[in-house]
Amino acid sequence: MKLSRLALAVAVLPGASFAATDAEQAYKLPDMVITSARMAQPRDQATSANTVFTRDDIERLQARSVPELLQRVPGVQVSTAAGLISYSVRGSNTAQTLVLVDGQRIASASSGIARLDYLSIDNIERVEVTRGPRSSLYGADAIGGVIQIFTRRGETGLHPEVRLAAGNHGTFERSASLAGGDERTRFNLGASLDETQGWDMTRDNRGADSDDDGRRNKAVHLNLDHQLNDDWKAGFSLNDQRGDSEYDDAYSYAPGLPHDEFRVSSYSGYLEGQLTDMWSSRVELGRSYDRNKAVGAAEDWNNGSLETTRHSASWINRLQLDPRNQLALGADWYEDQVDGSTTFAEDSRENHAFFAQHSFKADAFSTELGLRHDDNQRYGTQNSWNGALTLPVGDKQSWIASYGEGFRAPTFSDLYYPGAGNPNLKAETSKTYELQWRGEFDGNHLDASIYRTEVDDLIAWDSTANQPENIAKARINGFEANWAREVYGWQANLGVAVIDPRDRDTGHTLPRRARRTLSLDLDRQFGAFGLGGSWRALSNSYADAANSEQLGGYGVLDVRGSWLFSESIRWDLKVQNLLDRDYAQATYQRPTDPAGFPTETFAYREAGRTALLALTWTPEL
């Protein structure tokens, strides 16, 4: 019996389990989403605003990093400073967005940041971005949304792939993978090595800071799935990145040659099966690891190592009570441990949670109601609710009104950093009210959202108490829209967002958030040749919380082309920042004398025009 596309998708994705052959093809369907409900569902039924990038999208756009993909998502902004990445979903802080790789949390438990720029794009099959709070399903850190990354999957037969690329700034990329299997067992094994000399990120050209800031990243991944019988399957995945990243010691008077030796890895295994006609269940076990060792800085206090190890377990159940009612029930456990050159008063904590979400679908409306209870060993308990009402208008339109709660867990640094931690901190909490509209008209897909997010108990430095306290509040109003269609043979995708992120105490705009963003992609295939371009524009923003330093708005144009030389060989050429636009996403202050006063403000330098030529070989075996 031939499975429907929905059944095929549900068969392999987290949170659901139906036996099927060729199930890995589900990850290639752009009209499915997994993260919104923690199980596979058609995107038009998901209650949260979402964006999906499949492997085909990654190759068509010639994206070379996860942050490069995220810049195309309405309401998402990405920036870097001193080699440290930050990402904001709907105006939230970096640590207020949950990041998962094959279901495993990868953010550092000390900084709260997931190093998305370290993840090898050659190992990635699919990226999903869910915008809006999902703490009712995932718990801590899902205030702005959830970014979920899936590594590459196996295929029937044997399918090798080799990719070689070279570009300016001394950039060289190599990757190789082998996907294979039969009707019962599938695997995908791959490795990559990316190197670049980089460019000089600082603008003062003082001392050793005038050097280029390079990076070396080697990665390996393995994904294995085995169909035990008609009802049960099991699998394992491994994703590991490690390397070296250079940066400028911008705050030092006597700069050194600092660099970070990093490692980001995750491992997970699962067993899933169909227990009855109405009940499917999945058990997951996982481990993630984040390590950063800073060396070479002028001052010893800037050097040191910090490690986070996280063990986790989940039990997820899907019950199809009847054709209209569906229930998801689950329990999560994870333990965080920190280690390194900094000694914390506490170096481990556990979190226990259970959640339930009910979905009802009638002809005239649909509802969703969920609750999660988290019990953390260090900062207490937290309940998170969500609710949504969907009203279809004819066959082509729908309105979704929703309410969601979120929270961010204080990190180990917030709680226990020697001399600067506060063990009495509470979790940051949020409430979001949202109204969405979606429509399909003559090949046009349009969706739009307006929302308001209120965040309380924000953790900020209290100079009087000389420690972090829950003293700040924020309010974020936003509008975002996305339009996709084919125009005279061109595949077009336009995303726009307008946000008003405010500190509720001072009235200042939150730093490093542009209030208006636009992203446009155009691509077309001319036989064996492909042609495309992207335009990304951001308005002015402020570099600091006091709104005293302004960063200018900018627009960046990228172009790309591809040539399918034969059935097994493809050439790709990408030129980023074609117009060589000079722009900055952050600033820093440099002391003008050894005493440290006064200081001078400089902007971090972004890359100018860059080009990358790549050859991909996929021989048939």
What are the pLDDT digits (tens) for 405-456? 999 999 999 999 988 899 999 999 999 999 999 999 888 899 999 999 999 9
Over 70: is that where the pLDDT of 18 sits? no
Rounded average pLDDT over 21-36: 67
* Contact residues for 400 (Cβ-Cβ < 8 A; gap 6+): 47, 388, 389, 390, 391, 434, 435, 436, 437, 438
Q: What is the pLDDT of residue 254?
A: 59
- Tell me the pLDDT band of 22, cut-offs 50, 70 and 90: very low
Residues of the chain with pLDDT > 90, as a percent, come to 71
Count the neighbouring beta carbons within 10 Å of the beta carbon of residue 420: 12
CATH at residue 458: 2.40.170.20
SS (H, E, C) 368-416: EEEEEEEEECCCEEEEEEEEEEEEEECCCEEEEEEEEEEEECCCHHHHH
What are the pLDDT digits (tens) for 124-142? 999 999 999 999 999 999 9
Residue type, 606: E
What are the pLDDT digits (tens) for 367-402? 999 999 999 988 889 999 999 999 999 888 999 999
Distance CA 127, CA 383 (A): 28
Over 90: is that where the pLDDT of 251 sits? no
What are the pLDDT digits (tens) for 581-598? 988 888 777 776 666 666
- Helix (H) or strand (E) segment spanning residue 235: strand 232-246
- Tell me if the pTM is above 0.85: yes
How many domains does the chain divide into? 1
Q: Considering only 19-33, 156-170, 387-401, which range has the smallest mean pLDDT?
A: 19-33
Rounded average pLDDT over 493-520: 94
Q: What is the pLDDT of residue 9?
A: 37
Terminus-to-terminus CA distance in the chain, angstroms? 29
Q: What is the pLDDT of residue 8?
A: 35
Residue 274 Cα to chain centre, angstroms: 31
Rounded average pLDDT over 112-123: 93
Q: What is the pLDDT of residue 607?
A: 87
Over 60: is that where the pLDDT of 61 sits? yes
Q: Which residues of 259-297 are buried (b: 16+ CB within 10 A; e: fewer)?
A: bbbbbbbbbbebebbbeeeebbbbebebbbbbbbbbebb
Q: What is the pLDDT of residue 32?
A: 86
Q: What is the pLDDT of residue 202?
A: 79
- Domain range for residue 400? 5-617
Asked if 163 contacts 178 with a C-beta cutoff of 8 angstroms, the reply is no
157-167 and 145-151 as β-strands: parallel, antiparallel, unpaired?
unpaired
Q: What is the pLDDT of residue 620?
A: 86
* Contact residues for 77 (Cβ-Cβ < 8 A; gap 6+): 71, 87, 88, 512, 513, 514, 517, 538
Rounded average pLDDT over 351-364: 96
> What rounded mean pLDDT belongs to the chain?
89
Rounded average pLDDT over 345-353: 94
